[in-house]
Chain A
Amino acid sequence: MPSATTPAVPSHSQRAGAWCGALVAEGVTRKYGGRAVVNDVSLQLSAGDCLALFGPNGAGKTTLLRMLGGLLRPTRGRVTLHGRELPGEAETRRLLGVISHKSMLYDALTVRENVLFAAECQGLRNAAAATDAVLEKLLVRDRANTTVRLLSRGLQQRVSIARALVHGPSLVLLDEPYTGLDETGARALTDALRALKANGATVVLITHNLSEGLALATETAIMRNGQFVHRMTRPDSEYDVTQYATLYRELVAGGE
């Protein structure tokens, strides 16, 4: 939980398990033309937590995720990361990694140029070495000099993941990151997310694939019409995909 006084932003070495209440959203609402796309949503996630966010199209998941990342200002409510309001200072934004179904890459640049640019923007001193390391981890180092435009959708997504993880973020926001990934790419992403979680990172994952989400989640939420209609916190082993799928269908179908 954030303390009453604003704590200092943790260094990378401080992150592993040392912080609770890493990400806090309080009564977050976002309206477009009077219509609340996200309505009074609150959540608290600690270091190492992974929230899997499920819901039908138009439920407000992406809007919520953009507010959690400071990319969109809430109409009401606030989002804090380690006690600091987002988008906040450079030091706070450095803790963020954002992955979306859009690649967020420059298609005229090579794989390496894209990731290196991201690493340099993050202020990494050893940007070139970190770039090579993350490309290796995401199994795309052999494509380092290929122009992004020439890559398949799945490979572009892997590069996008490398771009977001190159600086070892402590809050990773993922919007349907498995879209377009083949089995190898999906496994590489899952491994990378598990490693980040183990290292104390907080993960928020939007996915339409219940089994992928449940495999990583320490907490789940189902969203409909801009609100959480179901939340659950359980250890990984207790999730039952079939049961959860039935519950999901009942909750989502019930509102449509």
Chain B
Amino acid sequence: MSELAFREPSFLVDAIRIARKDLLIEFRTRSGFLSAAVFALLSLAIFRFSWDPTAVTSVDLAPGVLWVIFTFAGLLGLNRSFNVEQVDRAMDALLASPVSREAVFAGKALGNLVFVVAVQLLALPTLALFFGLRVGPEWWGVLAVAVLAAVGFVAVGTLFAAVASNTRLAEMLLPMLALPFFVPVLIPAAQATSSLLAGRPLSEVLPELKILGAFDIVFVAACTLAFPFTLEE
């Protein structure tokens, strides 16, 4: 084996490789995405049929519905992200490799981000269809808010998914641990979505976007630094 040549570890390359592997597994099994998609569509249908248009307008109701669905559908994907590493202890092989713990976190978070954005892309047009919302350029703003919020959501969610995966009650523990930390992201995201769907210009939601950006930076940095400690037994 003396002819083997090695390259220096690269944070970005390693993270992308891990994300690609996770997405390939998800693409093959489709178990996470299917359950999240079914949950999102079913929830939208339930909200639609329980909605009384004479009591509350669709523009007032839709943002809340949307963020409830994003949150819980996203949790389904987060729960799964570390399950694939735990079943046959593949995480041990990853940790014994030269890949840094921070790159493992970034890869897992990146895979989860793609998953959450995919669920959002499915849920947004369905929401517009079910609630008869006018589709216009403001939806680009809604999509931007959704993606911006997803970054912070995924950073916190990935960290707590790693913590919960070492326990027997992972699926129950993750929402309990993560939901309180989602609040700083979900509140400005729901407020910005509400304003945009009401037809207000993007400039009016800039404060919320700034808050979301700030939380994204803080959460991504803090969760990346904290992640290696979650791996200690």
Contacts and interface: CB of A to CB of B under 8 A. Distances in A.
A117 interface: yes
Contacts of B96: 69-71, 87, 93, 96-98
Contacts of A105: 88, 90
B2 A123 contact: no
B233 interface: yes
Nearest to A167: B4
A108 B29 contact: yes
A6 interface: no
A109 B90 CA distance: 12
Contacts of A186: none
Interface in A98-116: 98, 100, 102-109, 113
B88 A98 contact: no
B38 interface: no
Contacts of A132: none
A167 B93 CA distance: 13
A123 B17 CA distance: 11
B4 A12 contact: yes
B17 A168 contact: no
Given A12-B1, A121-B17, A168-B1, A109 B25 contact: yes
B6 interface: yes
| Most interface-central of A69, A121, A163 (chain B CB within 10 A) | A121
Contacts of A97: 96
Interface string B79-101: 00000100111101111111110
A124 B6 contact: yes
B5 A124 contact: yes
Interface stretch (B7-15, B59-67, B175-183, B195-203): B7-15
Contacts of A16: 2
Nearest to A102: B89
Contacts of B97: 93-94, 96, 118, 121-122
Chain A CB count within 10 A is highest, among B2, B29, B232, for B2
B89 A123 contact: no
B92 A90 contact: no
A190 interface: no
A117 B92 contact: no
Contacts of A12: 1-2, 4
B21 interface: yes
Contact of B4 (A70, A91, A163, A168): A168
A110 B24 CA distance: 11
5 contacts: A12-B4, A117-B21, A123-B98, A164-B93, A168-B2
Interface of A: 12-13, 15-16, 66, 69-73, 87, 90-91, 93-94, 96-98, 100, 102-109, 113, 117-118, 120-126, 130, 147, 163-164, 167-168, 199
Interface of B: 1-2, 4-9, 14, 17, 21, 24-25, 28-29, 84, 87-90, 92-100, 232-233
